[in-house]
Chains A and B, each alone.
Chain A
């Protein structure tokens, strides 16, 4: 589907032997008795395991759940959570909910775009960093809020976020 798969991301998704992700996914589907109703739960699991939903993975799920491929694709593209392309190794999600918006989240996002050279919703060319946005994380008391690799950062501003992103990316070099 997508040709934007970067080398690093592709490497990550093609793990060597001993990959038991398929088994875990199978177990999830079995737990739901391979019912089509469980499609969203299964997609959640698949994305958790593989990081994104490749066409092959979606076809596979369609087959196992006895669903038409177009239905699976339609569901996968309806929900924001599901990503059909690999995400960066590190992600920073900026909350654009109302409370954060009123407290300058849009400006913060623009600054991070400039700093990282990655547009909102995109992944850097080397596949290391994704800059994402969210529709309210429900952490309005900490506005503006961000999530850095799964961890909520409250009262986010340019300097504290930039420093943390830099250290995340730097640590592995």
Chain B
């Protein structure tokens, strides 16, 4: 099959047929923001961060779900796209309670990185401040819905990679929440294999390993004295 030639931000790029535009853009060394996309999982085109302008098309298209075609002329970083991306990140930050200062993922969080990448120095929208639960009923993992961005990467990783489908989304609109089984505490799920793929896939601190939050850190200061005592007895 012949390679497809397209123009991305003024550069001629050659791509394999059947390849997504996102892959071609990345191969060309151009970085565009993504959130719901994760290599290895199917794409849903939900976060709208990878929208690009394609000449001759009226609507913006998600690069992750658009196939390359011959002669395509693509713009990935126009002022308009930059403005939209910033707005989308603002909307996400305003939706739930994303408090980097107290988050286990701070410093290793895609949402936090995206904020910097799109130049979001403040959120112009009102914070919705929903009352979201934290579920730490599972022995190894926890989920803090305050930090969930509904990218559904956990849902897809669990379904497509682990083949279990413990996770899904319940409710709709801004009230939608990821759930395990019958919206029951994760620890009581009968389908979860505790494989941790949802944890690997989560872009934020929503799904986190148990034992890393401040309150869970193993403190046992009295053991220091115990050790000293023990050594004294041996000497």
Contacts and interface: CB of A to CB of B under 8 A. Distances in A.
B12 interface: no
A71 B168 contact: yes
B170 interface: yes
A70 B181 contact: yes
B200 interface: no
Contacts of A78: 170-172
A70 B171 contact: no
B179 interface: yes
B167 interface: yes
Interface in B133-190: 159, 164-172, 179-183
A2 B170 CA distance: 15
Size class of the B contact interface (CB-based, 8 Å): 10 to 19
Nearest to A58: B182
A70 B172 contact: no
A73 B170 contact: yes
A17 to B, nearest CB: 27
Contacts of B170: 70, 73-74, 77-78
B191 interface: yes
Interface residues of A, number: 13
B211 to A, nearest CB: 26
A68 B183 contact: no
Contacts of B166: 68, 70
B172 A73 contact: no
A69 interface: yes
Contacts of B180: 70
Contacts of B183: 1, 70, 73, 77
A77 to B, nearest CB: 4
Given A73-B182, A74-B170, 8 more contacts: A58-B182, A68-B165, A68-B166, A68-B168, A72-B182, A74-B169, A77-B170, A77-B171
5 contacts: A68-B166, A68-B181, A70-B179, A71-B168, A77-B170
